Chains A and B, each alone.
Chain A
């Protein structure tokens, strides 16, 4: 079996794991995440759950969604490299609790639920956080912010949506808002 095939199968396994949580063996549960992590203890299953949360936060519409733009990997990297240990623990603890909450409220894993169910759960978490454990809310808020950061910092967003200008070569301190094209706002415009 060549290496690429192994990776493919691993991905398939990880996907299956999310779909068939009851049938998980110890080994499957402990498949590592898709990137090396130095600080946070998240496995492939956790990563899958995180990926689904990211995609629900910023889904594919007529523009690419979180998965298309590899934002879950950005979230993992920022969590692992740039987040203080205390917040990492809260995030990881909150993610695991979120898994339990989803199973309780949706009757199945978040990843196995319908789009409407996922949206419904995040809607409650977003609008009525008091009904959820603190750590779950903290996880949601942090995941949401990192997903937004990843989206706004992505090459897609900065070349197709806001058009980042490395070399603006101009400054106008009295730029009329009426001339601002909000459909294609430019980074140089504050």
Chain B
């Protein structure tokens, strides 16, 4: 990045700056450059170029020195990262090591991070569902957090925009609680997933099993071919990075698209210390970064800034951006910055077996993972003794019997021609949690990281509502599984800490009222409108959907607004 070291303000001035290069940052860069803005995208981690920097992507299982497992020493040195399901020998290079980026846990919180160009978009589980009007209306109806300043209709066209470009597979299911979108063909349910779907339709007409909607190119369109992506090849090795671009990531899609405009500068290894605020002009003017390796600091300038550092790091940057105008952090007149952090409750599973449909198994691999049961609790009105509800991932598969005793030629033969097990089924809860003032992040008062940024101190925990919801999930799915003829039903409470869901949200929430929220309906800071926050930090509530699609739709909508405001000179006023 030698060209960035030119010591002149002009060379360090852009039309827009995007902080972060993941799911939402990549989208911001794409849309800003498409609209003609010379854009700088800063990323604290190293560069990862599509295909070129996927070192394990075409490795065969036997080529991994430890058969895919993480060495014990590495696990011991990284207890937090080790709890993440992608932290295996094939993808551990994309997950932040505990020791390299410490933070403070006031309460147990597994903060899983991906510091590289593309961020966690390389690693995500690719599940993509729209929010419905019932999700946006939740806080107002049920009296928690603050009302969303937007509704489904505000976001719907932007969902469409994102879905068409990213490529989302799914079926038109016609469910009010889970609006349909612009879909590529959905992946099929297997025999037992379908059995459960049919059964549920009879026993509980208000509950549905649908094919999971996911960001895979089941049938690429011209816009995907133009991105250099082709049909998903059902490898299901996505976490390594996909040489086909079969799933959506910033690396395979938005970033190369933005680079093609010639207007994007990607600056990896740049740790943002703070957003610069000019008291005279009354607006943010740029950022101060420290090079991750050389430790030199540089300032960059632009009339608009997009903060997409990943929910909690976005909080960190704003909290650390202090001035005499904003002593408690940029835009934090209300004092709510860092508060009302929430997440998804992924701590509950129900598993079982099915002795039926043994005449079928599966062939190939399903990138969607299986089925999805949209939220059915408290959707249209409050019915339970807990607020909100849960969506559920549902899947079935058959394994191979491995004899647990015996050896010699017999064992060899059994391994070579293994019998099929019965079907195993599993349901995983994805519960909405309620944002509360007591769930917060703040700057550690004394400790800093090696780039001069205070450590983030996290205090987030479950509450009684989460516990009640979890018990309901256990009861309901045990019952539904029994009715569907499944046996050996087991409930499993993982007691996992918040954070491991990798769906942390909030802290810079949207809201109508500047006294109780940070962002307006366009994702601008109420008190500093040329700064937009469009990652998970902006979320007023969490609902039950996997959040990435909504972050991208919010980003697309906000960029459109920012560029039109810029044209009207509304963001340059002093």
Contacts and interface: CB of A to CB of B under 8 A. Distances in A.
Interface in B141-190: 187-190
B262 interface: no
B66 A173 contact: no
B1 interface: no
Contacts of B360: 173-177
A119 B408 CA distance: 8
A74 B64 CA distance: 11
A161 interface: yes
B265 interface: no
B85 interface: no
Dominant SS at the A interface? mixed
Contacts, number: 147
Contacts of A166: 58, 60, 235, 237
A190 B397 contact: yes
Contacts of B366: 171, 173
Interface stretch (B275-283, B303-311, B410-418, B541-549): B410-418
B71 interface: yes
A144 B415 contact: no
Given A56-B407, A148-B402, A185-B418, A169 B363 contact: no
Given A56-B408, A126-B406, A158-B62, A174 B415 contact: no
Given A168-B364, A177-B361, A161 B189 contact: no
A84 B82 CA distance: 14
A118 B363 CA distance: 40
Contacts of B358: 177
Interface string A59-77: 1010100000000001001
B436 to A, nearest CB: 38
A190 to B, nearest CB: 5
A171 B362 contact: yes
Interface residues of B, number: 50
Interface string A156-169: 01100110101111
B418 A175 contact: no
A176 B359 contact: yes
Interface in A49-64: 56-59, 61, 63
A158 B67 CA distance: 12
B205 interface: no
Contact of A168 (B62, B194, B233): B233
B296 interface: no
B445 interface: no
Contacts of B408: 56-59, 119, 122
Interface string A99-133: 00000000000000000000100100011000000
A170 B364 contact: yes
8 contacts: A82-B70, A83-B72, A155-B60, A162-B416, A167-B235, A173-B366, A174-B191, A185-B418
Q: Which 3 A-B pairs have the closest CB atoms?
A: A173-B190, A175-B363, A170-B364
